[in-house]
Chain A
Amino acid sequence: MISFSIMCLGLLFVVIGSVGIIRFGDIYSRLQASGVSDNAGLGLILIGLIVRGGLEMHDLALVILLFLLLLTNPIVTHCIARSAFIQRHTGVEEEE
């Protein structure tokens, strides 16, 4: 029951982040929607998988996966935003 609740909360974050990735206007808003909601939602889904069932051997691999995801996702988001900023991308939508 606790696992179900945590995974439902994580799925809510993931759906909100996907709507933000589709609907937002410029690259920095989309980066913020992606970076924040992916960390929260996918991290919550992995925590829900960890607390599901008893203490088993594959929980260690799930903890390593969660640590790796929470470590690498902000670094990648920062690298993309830095690249877009250095290239003098002004944030104005270029389509239309």
Chain B
Amino acid sequence: MVAAEIVLLLSFAAVLYRFFRGPTQWDRLLAYNSASNRVIVILAIVAILTEQDIYLDVAIVYAALSFLGLVILARFTERGEGYR
């Protein structure tokens, strides 16, 4: 379980490299999506490992809020320059 957390944190660092490097804005949106997915699974592993089920509720709320923010950002960037 702890090894799974370590592997997930290493892949989180790999996704953060794409977030800060990414040439376009969609690469950053993609990296944000992958990073929030990894954070959700790390929270689930921590909740099972420490026997505290409150972290699962935190993970569910985090999943819903990151989905909302990502859909809003993606729909906003498809309209191009200026507001319409």
Known: A21-B15, A79-B74. A64 touches B48 (CB 8 A): no
Interface size class of B (residues with CB under 8 A): 35 or more
Q: Which of A22-69 contact B (CB under 8 A)?
A: 22, 27, 30-31, 34, 38, 42, 45-46, 49, 52, 57-58, 61-62, 64-65, 68-69
- Establish whether residues B56 and A58, one from each chain, have CB atoms under 8 Å apart when the complex forms: yes
Give Cα A36 to B80, complex, Å: 27
Known: A79-B70, A83-B77. A7 touches B14 (CB 8 A): no
B residues near A (Cβ < 8 Å) are: 4, 7-8, 10-11, 14-15, 17-18, 23-24, 26-27, 29-31, 33-34, 37-38, 40-41, 44-45, 47-48, 53, 56-57, 59-60, 63-64, 67, 70-71, 74-75, 77-78, 80
